[in-house]
Structure 1
């Protein structure tokens, strides 16, 4: 197997396994009524001040319609409270209930354990190299897929490829 094939195999396996393992770790008996995506919405809302729906939609890279549908379900299940602004009735803020905060901390714990286990197997130098490599990957994906133009969520892959030849 070539280095490129090995790298491709590792990346594909990593992405697949991470999603599958995270799903199994997060959706326990206590949180069986929500999905992994719901957990990520809960994470985006956070435990600090209430967030505007538009802020959460942007963090999640989803439309307001998609987020509204998910929020309807999370509100009905008791994870989230929606509150209309008293200053501007168009603005809706969301915050986590105690149940939502419990889910948030559960998700946070999974990620903390994952980081501790990864770091536990690496030297400080290897950790620095891993962070650098992952940051370069994030930059690459941000550059390739996300447009800075507010009207378009994704860049045209072919156009970018042509521009960078």
Structure 2
């Protein structure tokens, strides 16, 4: 296979994987009453803890205006809360509520199950190699 053919095949495989993962995630969140963007916001807060709005917006790749709308919805559904920053009175921290933590953990568990299913036939060395490759790719974002 030539380099061009390999590049094209790799491009197609990445797109196919992304499409399948997106479809899977949409199916998982469909009955939760919140959007995929909302669950990704919960995931970010679940993994990183309380964050300033600006920091959270940067982490999930949206504008602060877009994030404000998302946070309003998540506050109204009782999944996140706003609280004043302890050392910066101008900043507001966003954090998960108990229900937000529960939903985050439930969604995280689904991801763990999928990862186990996808790598069930992989050796330990292959899992380590896959992890290293994902970490290298993630550095580009």
The TM-score bracket by the shorter chain reads: 0.7 to 0.9
Cα distance in 2, alignment partners of residues 52 and 113 from structure 1: 31
Give the structure-1-normalised TM-score.
Answer: 0.73
Mapping 1:1-165, distance limit 5 Å: 2-28=5-31, 31=32, 33-46=33-46, 50-85=50-85, 87-139=87-139, 141-142=140-141
Which segments of 5 or more consecutive residues in structure 2 lack a partner in the other structure? Answer: none
Deviation at 1:11, TM superposition (A): 0.9
Give the structure-2-normalised TM-score.
Answer: 0.84
Deviation at 1:21, TM superposition (A): 0.7
Task: Calculate the aligned-residue CA RMSD, in Å.
Answer: 2.2
Which segments of 5 or more consecutive residues in structure 1 lack a partner in the other structure? Answer: 143-165
Residues 85-124 of structure 1, C-alpha deviation per residue, up to 9 Å, x if partnerless?
3654311112212221121012111111122122312011
Greater helix share, 1 or 2? 2
Q: Which has the larger radius of gyration?
A: 1
Aligned length: 138
What SS does structure 2 have at the residue aligned with 1:94? Answer: strand
Cα distance in 2, alignment partners of residues 26 and 47 from structure 1: 18
